[in-house]
Amino acid sequence: MTNIGYRALLAQREALEKQIEELKNAERGDAIEWIRQQMALYDVKPEDLDPRGSRNPKKRTGPVAAKYRDPASGATWSGRGKPPRWIADQDREKFAITD
């Protein structure tokens, strides 16, 4: 080990971190300019970089309209998922909403 004390090492680390931050800020401008040039060259738009972008858009759907109504309770069912008890094992045509 060297004779450098703990406080001296902390001071060196602080100085190095300051140098790193200064260099990063100086080189950041160059990196941004290079990226802008590449985007212009290849006609890349900022929205093209969004991973949730237009490559595979998810369709947003709202609630599904009811297709069946229970005449006794007025309860409705869209026809999706597990059928409720009032329509299970029965002819669904007699519960169909025709409006």
Same domain, 44 and 73: no
Tell which residue, 80, 54, 47, has the closest CA to residue 66.
80
Tell which residue, 49, 52, 54, 27, has the closest CA to residue 38.
49
Q: 2 falls in which pLDDT band (50, 70, 90)? A: low
CA separation for the pair 18, 65 (Å, rounded): 62
3-state helix, strand, coil in the chain (%, to 5): 45, 5, 50
Q: 99 lies in which domain range?
A: 61-99
Same domain, 44 and 65: no
Asked if the model's pLDDT at residue 53 lies above 80, the reply is no
Q: Is residue 56 part of a domain?
A: no
Same domain, 44 and 77: no
- Cut 0.85: pTM above it: no
Q: Is residue 1 part of a domain?
A: no
Domain count, the chain: 2
Same domain, 93 and 67: yes
